[in-house]
Amino acid sequence: MLTWNEICRIAKEGNPEPDHTLQRSDAEWAAQLTPEQYHVTRQAGTERAFSNEMCSRFEPGAYGCVCCNSLLFDGEQKFESGSGWPSFTQPVKANAIAYHSDHSFGRTRIETTCNTCEAHLGHVFPDGPAPSGLRYCMNAVALCKLDESETQQS
């Protein structure tokens, strides 16, 4: 189980190697994604809070990166944070997510990106529920619900 101290160390010292990587040009990403998905995932944007129904849906299943379908989160780790964005306590694997220190807006946060394709997902904070105390605050448009065949490939 990842902890806040471990995430801070990873953000400072370097991310774990992903299982595989995927690179595309900006034009290819723009052709594949909606304008909002492109803005959030490729330009590190943020969707408006409470703007996506994924925030209030709690159903079994797996969530992946909207850009590359890499498995990121299990629905069992999703919780209601009241933040307006889907929140999870842990990724499915330690190397599914990459962590980067983010010093924008006059404060330090930890940005989360897909470790496969480098898509911006959101941020992780140390104010989640026990036992990890983590809150992965994700942009809903950066995620997609995966079907069973997709989760077995990851």
Active site positions, annotated: 137
Residue 150 belongs to what H/E stretch?
helix 148-153
Token pair for residue 1?
Answer: 């189980």
Residue 37 belongs to what H/E stretch?
helix 35-43
In whole angstroms, give the CA distance from residue 61 to residue 74.
6
Q: Please give the single-letter amino acid code of residue 7.
A: I
Q: Please give the single-letter amino acid code of residue 68.
A: C
Token pair for residue 28?
Answer: 């290819």
Identify each DSSP E strand in 46-108 by its residue range.
62-65, 71-74, 78-79, 87-88, 97-102
